[in-house]
Amino acid sequence: MSTEKGVKKLGFDSFFFLFFMLVWSATVSAGDSGWMPQIHGFLQAHAAARLGNVDCAVQTACDWPFNEQRLQLKAEGSGMGGSLGYAAKLDLLHDAALDDSDSDVRELYADYNAEHLTLRAGRQVNTWGVADLLFINDTFPKDWVSFFGGLPLEYLKLGSDALRLDLYPEFADVQILLADFREDRLPDRDRFVLPGPEISAALDEPSDLEASLRVSRYFGSWDGAVYLSRTHYRAPAMSQIAGQWRGEYPRLNAYGASLSGPLGNGVLNFEAGYYDSVRDRDGTDPAVENSQTRLLIGYSRQVAEETTLGFQAYAEWMHDHDAYRRTLPAGVPERDELRTVATLRFTQFHLHQTLRLSLFAFWGVSEGDGYIIPSVRYAFSDNLWGELGANLFVGDRNGQFGSLGDNDNVYATLRYAF
Amino acid sequence: MKCTSLLIILSFACSVAVQTPSFAAAPTANEAVPGLLPSSRISPSVDKIVARSLETFYYAGEDQRTRVSMRLINSQGKERKRVMTLLRKDLGTSGEQRYYIYFHEPSDVKGTAFMVWKYPAREDDRWIFIPAIKLVRRIAADDKRSSFVGSDFTYEDVSGRDLEDETHNLLGEETLGGRPVFKIESAPQAKVEYVRRLSWIDRERGLPLKEEYYDARGELLRTFSADEVREVDGHWTATRRTMHDAQSGHRTEVVFDEVNYDVGLGEDLFSERYLRRPPGQWVR
What average pLDDT does range A3-20 have in this prediction?
54
Rounded to 5 degrees, φ, ψ at B211 are -140, 145
What A313-316 contacts at long range (C-beta under 8 Å, 24+ apart), as own/partner pairs, is A313/A340, A313/A341, A313/A342, A314/A131, A314/A134, A314/A340, A314/A341, A314/A342, A314/A343, A315/A339, A315/A340, A315/A341, A316/A292, A316/A340, A316/A341
- Please name every residue paired with B82 in a beta bridge, in sequence order, or none if there are none: B70
B172 φψ region: left (φ > 0), alpha (ψ -120 to 50), beta (else): left
Q: What pLDDT is attached to residue A319?
A: 98
Q: Do A417 and B72 touch (CB under 8 A)?
A: no
Handedness of CA A302, A303, A306, A308 (dihedral sign): negative
Summarize pLDDT for A335-355 with one digit per residue, the tens. 999 999 999 999 999 999 999
Interface pTM, i.e. ipTM: 0.89
Q: How far apart are CA B35 and CA B247, in angstroms?
A: 43
pLDDT above 60 for B27: no
CA quadruple A304, A310, A311, A314: dihedral, nearest 10: 170
Res A180: pLDDT:
97
Q: Which of B5, B15, B118 to mutate to test the interface with A (most CBs of A within 10 A)?
A: B5
- Residue of A380, A382, A375, A384 whose CA lies nearest to A356: A375
pLDDT tens sequence across A172-220: 999 999 999 999 999 999 999 998 888 889 999 999 999 999 999 999 8
Q: Which helix (H) or strand (E) holds A4?
A: helix A2-29
| Contact assignment for B143 to A385 by CB distance below 8 Å | no
What is the pLDDT at residue B239? 97
A327 Cβ under 8 Å from any chain B Cβ = no
pLDDT of A362 reads: 98
Average pLDDT on B36-59 reads 73
Q: What is the pLDDT of residue A28?
A: 63
| Terminal C-alpha separation, chain B | 29
Q: Who wins on pLDDT, A241 or A394?
A: A394
Alpha carbon of A82: minimum distance to chain B alpha carbons (Å): 5
- Find the range with the poorest average confidence among A55-64, A149-158, A402-411, B25-34: B25-34
Contact B134/A125, CB-based, under 8 Å? Answer: yes
Determine which of A75-84, B26-35, B60-69, B255-264 has the lowest per-residue pLDDT on average. B26-35
Percent of chain B with pLDDT over 70: 83
Name chain A contacts of B105, Cβ cutoff 8 Å.
382
The architecture (CATH level 2) of A2-417 comes to Beta Barrel (2.40)
Checking if the pLDDT of A286 tops 80, the result is yes
Domain-wise residue ranges, chain A: 2-417
Nearest to A40 by CA among A80, A88, A84, A79: A88
Q: Could you give all domains of chain B from N- to C-terminal order, each with its CATH number?
A: 2-22+43-276 (2.50.20.10)
What is chain B's Cα-based Rg? 19
Nearest Cα residue in chain A from B150: A352
Least confident of B37-41, B110-114, B193-197, B224-228: B37-41
Q: For A299-339, write each residue's pLDDT tens digit.
A: 999 998 889 999 999 999 999 999 999 999 988 889 999 99
* Of A174, A173, A182, A177, nearest in space to A164 by CA: A177
Nearest CA in chain B to A89: B132
